[in-house]
Amino acid sequence: MSVPADLKYTKSHEWLKVDGDTVTIGITDHAQSELGDVVYVDLPEAGRAVQVGDSFGSVESVKTVSDLYAPVSGEVTEVNGALAAQSELVNSDPHGEGWMVKVKMDNASQLDSLLDAAAYEKEIA
Amino acid sequence: MTTRTVPTPTSIFEKSSPGRIACNIPVAETPSVDLNEAIGETRDSVPWPEIGELELVRHFTNLSQINYGIDTGFYPLGSCTMKYNPRINELTAGMKGFTKLHPMQPAETATGALKVIIAVEKFLKEITGFDEITQQPVAGAHGELTCLMMIKAYHDFRGEGEKRNVVLVPDSAHGTNPASAARCGYKVKTVHTDDEGNTDIEALKALLDDSVAAFMVTNPSTLGLFEPRIKQVCDMVHKAGGQVFCDGANMNAMVGVTRPGDHGFDCMHLNLHKTFSTPHGGGGPGCGAIGLMSHLEPFMPGPVVKQDEMGIPILDTERPMSIGRVSSFFGQFLMAVRALTYLSAYGRDGLPEIARHAVLNANYIKARLKDVLPAAHNRPCMHECILTAKQYKAGGVRALDISKRLIDKGYHPPTNYFPLIVPECMMIEPTETESKETLDAFCDAMIEICEEAVSNPELLTSAPTTQIVGRLNEAAAVKKLDVKWQPPREEATV
């Protein structure tokens, strides 16, 4: 199971990549493995405000539909449009081409409560 | 890699030959019309199958023989109660007095049928402990939705409808629970399950306030466990002004032994097509009968079948606060006939045997498989056992692979990956109608498969190999829905 060291993680299995005051968000390799083949990803439109802990979309797989939870508050600046036609990218490259949204953070200190790679690895062990 | 040996059957369209016909149409007493002239281009544009009677009979008989059902084998699909449906049910449901009824005939000419409805309701009131029953909902989820609509009407009537906009649902719930709540306009919040498999009381406490309209509880839970603090849970929700709905999908574990009405629930749904042996599968028809306490009675769907002072069935149609009809007429009436047959055949003394044997059978399977597929929770289960296959994951074998291999061994797979909170979950519900020999043969097959999972995992990951189709691409089945036969394109023939 791949858990890249340069990412931050949530207990609800989202990953974040921090770039200045913007974060890229997706679901982890562990999450995609548990979900099975992803068939549909429901994402918000760019410009939408999200609050930490709120559902901002969902992932539908052959097994279930799971909510996506915002790990930080802010505004969605970009959405991965490729997932509309190629939801399988979430399975094949969860930490790369399978990214979901970019969010401009309101409060970067919210990052402090997230898990690092070592802590997330313990979480899914 | 094992190759499949079963040939793929051809469709009826491919067996078609122009001009063949499977029926003799009686001589018409009216002027005849040429079919080709009458429907013209339609006939050319739609590939009607043209086939003789014998070929037609063989086609469908052969298809029926590759089907799998409770009449052909063990069907341990969890949360579904795939029990045997006694043949006597069909005998009574086929009686002319029932089949020749017309739904539009005046109620006073169908008092016998209304008496059947009343008799079933009497049984169900006694079994569930609720004050009222209606059999209008035609599916389990329909029963859930109806209960939530009544709860909404109840809060509206009390002037609390607006502020109570949240429905609580456990993280182990059937997916229909949050769906019904959302359909009713409620916001759904999740209540976590504790390590023992019960409602996390602290998590519930934290969520209870005057925004809560209802808590939907499945008892026994989808973990196959009886909620020991159910009375406390109901009391907590009531204290906060909310109502408690019981998802009765698992009623088979409680019939004649304990009553949800006594646990503190305000309403519940039952699946007559699970618990009370009206047929299940094939799309129904179902009956999601609901039970409710008297404070919800003004809101229940109408008309309600009642009896006058002489005991004659009458229809109560004056129900100004009712949520209205939730189906045409009285739901699936012949399900009531089947359920009454089943309930009467067992009777008061026999009914508790349903739950006792269902629970015993599930615990027997759990005990026999404990070394190869341990239970998710180490305590006695109810009518189904929830096992985990996580020990095989490192070797590349998932619960799904075990299920697919089970098909090769001649069994219908159990429910997989539900409830969601159990990793590599396998949910096995044997029901009360299976013999010890059948349970043993199934457990032997499961143990053999788990040994193969270690010694030869490819047998599992490439399964099934004994059926007309192999491992299906489930994602493609969702994304590229292809359910319509198309004549082969000419350019495709080489």
Check which CATH number belongs to the domain holding B343 and give it.
3.40.640.10
Q: How many domains does chain B have?
A: 1
Q: B183-235: per-residue pLDDT in tens?
A: 999 999 999 999 999 999 999 999 999 999 999 999 999 999 999 999 999 99
pLDDT at residue number B494: 44
Give a yes or no: residue B54 inside a domain: no
As a whole number of angstroms, the distance between CA B76 and CA B82 comes to: 7
Cβ contact (<8 Å) for B478 and A36?
no
Give a yes or no: residue B14 inside a domain: no
CA atoms within 13 A on the CB side of B395: 20
Cβ contact (<8 Å) for A39 and B417?
no
Whether this model's pTM surpasses 0.80: yes
Q: Is the pLDDT of residue B282 over 70?
A: no
Give a yes or no: residue B264 inside a domain: yes
Give a yes or no: residue B278 inside a domain: yes
pLDDT at residue number B490: 61
Q: Is the pLDDT of residue B279 over 90?
A: no
Give a yes or no: residue B244 inside a domain: yes
Q: Is the pLDDT of residue B5 over 90?
A: no
A39 contact residues in B (CB cutoff 8 A):
475, 478-479
Cβ contact (<8 Å) for B474 and A62?
yes
Q: Residue A88's beta-bridge partner residues?
A: none
Cβ contact (<8 Å) for A63 and B417?
yes
Query: Residue B295: which residues within 8 A CB-CB, separation 6 or more?
Result: B154, B266
pLDDT at residue number B491: 55
Give a yes or no: residue B174 inside a domain: yes
Q: Is the pLDDT of residue A57 over 60?
A: yes
Residues B132, B292 contacting (CB under 8 angstroms): yes
Enclosing domain of residue B148: 67-466
- Assess: ipTM above 0.85: no
Which member of A34, A37, A65 has the closest CB to residue B475?
A: A37
Fold of A8-108: OB fold (Dihydrolipoamide Acetyltransferase, E2P) (2.40.50)
Cβ contact (<8 Å) for B175 and A64?
yes
Distance from CA of A21 to the nearest CA of B (A): 31
Q: Is the pLDDT of residue A31 over 50?
A: yes
Alpha helices in B25-139 (DSSP H): 35-39, 41-45, 53-65, 88-93, 96-99, 111-128
Please give the average per-residue pLDDT across B340-361, as a whole number: 97
Size of interface A-B (CB pairs under 8 A): 23
Q: Is the pLDDT of residue A23 over 90?
A: yes
Q: Is the pLDDT of residue B284 over 80?
A: no
Neighbour-count burial of B375, counting CB atoms closer than 10 A to its CB (0-12 exposed, 13-18 middle, 19+ buried)? buried
As a whole number of angstroms, the distance between CA A119 and CA B311 comes to: 70
pLDDT at residue number B179: 94
Give a yes or no: residue B55 inside a domain: no
pLDDT at residue number B481: 85
